[in-house]
Structure 1
Amino acid sequence: MTDLDPKTDLVLERVVDVAPELVWKAWTTPEYLKRWFTPAPWKTVGCEIDLKPGGKFHTVMESPEGQQFPNTGCYLEIVPDRRLVWTGALRPGYRPANLGADVPFVFTAIIEIEPHEAGTKYTATVLHSTEDGRSKHEAMGFHHGWGAALDQLVALAKTW
């Protein structure tokens, strides 16, 4: 893991009562990811996963009013059942992203999945390029939103 910088990084860490393999399945299977990834009442209506370093991670989030927000990133690291790293700063194939002025921040996400006696220790670390980006993401509700999405992931995984 990279050293954390409290000025630019956000972390969500919890122990959840589902197995690491199920958390992994939820993160790496498009039809499952669409069912939990965006906190309700928002939805994830599109998802493409090319699970390899340099591969595509694409989602389309939809607001309750029907406005769609596509996001495309690039996987950087994949350790099955343990770690996923992707960034919006790159497009698939490690191509630099051409981000417009309307993009409020860019980040790299690190999802760590560790076996725990109660199920899984889940850590989502989001590295921002600037303090302002971190502040904007936190103000948008990072902890609540990513926490609510994790609750949805756990509820879904318990149905398998």
Structure 2
Amino acid sequence: MTFVVKAGEGLDLHIEREFTVPREIIWRCWTEAELLGEWYCPKPWRADVHKLDVRPGGTSEMTFKGPEGEAMPQNGMYLYVDPHRELVFTDSYREGFIPQADSFMTGYVQLEDTPDGGTKMIWGAKHATEDGRKQHLEMGFEQGWGAAAGQLDELARELAS
């Protein structure tokens, strides 16, 4: 299993991770609300997933909850969905394609098979400005997304067994 954090080109940040489980299991972990909530936030935080409508124009509504009662709403929209291969989502819009003033990023997930029957995942974020990209790094992009990817690996292996 490999894990790589890359600065990406321009305003992008992304991680690459290989899993020993098939792509379909990783896809389920991204697209089923009860599974997404189990791994998406680094512990001790958790993601309460209220809505997950995985289709172009579909929306997601969740709240990141901290151990001391902190709550961070995380709402967005799916822009592109290629089942078992790619997701593109953004916090730039809410339901009805209504723009959100406090947009932070457009995210993407790309999945591909590895020769040994596992999955390579590229999980990234595109930012509108260098300040946004820098803020994401300062918020702990590498540590946070790395921890979440580790939790995803654990859940996916459990589902595969």
TM-score normalized with structure 1 length: 0.89
1:11 corresponding residue in structure 2: 14
Q: Unaligned stretches of 5+ in structure 1?
A: 100-104
Contact kept in structure 1, 2:90 and 2:106, CA below 8 Å = yes
- Secondary structure at 1:148 match in 2: helix
**1:108 partner letter:** T
Aligned match of 2:142: 143
Match 2:74 to one of 53, 71, 75: 71
For 1:19-74, what per-residue CA distance to the aligned partner results, in whole angstroms no more than 9, with x for missing partners? 11011000000001110000011111233111111110122101111111111101
Say if 2:97 is the partner of 1:98: no
Q: Distance in 2 between matches of 1:147 and 1:156?
A: 14
Instruction: Point out which structure has higher relative CO (alpha carbons under 8 A, 6+ apart).
Output: 1
Percent same amino acid at aligned positions?
38
Question: How far is the alpha carbon of 1:5 from its aligned partner?
Answer: 6.3
Aligned 8 A contact 1:30 1:49 in 2: yes
2:111/2:121 contact within 8 Å kept:
yes
- The structure 1 segments of at least 4 consecutive aligned residues displaced by more than 4 Å after TM superposition are none
Contact 1:84 1:112 (C-alpha < 8 Å) held by counterparts: yes
Q: Distance in 1 between matches of 2:12 and 2:36?
A: 24
What is the RMSD computed on CA atoms of the aligned residues?
Answer: 1.5
How far, CA to CA, are the matches of 1:147 and 1:18 in structure 2?
A: 18
> How many pairs align?
152
Which whole-Å deviations, capped at 9, do the CAs of 1:68-98 have from their partners, x for residues lacking one?
1111101000000000000001112322113
SS at match of 1:40: coil
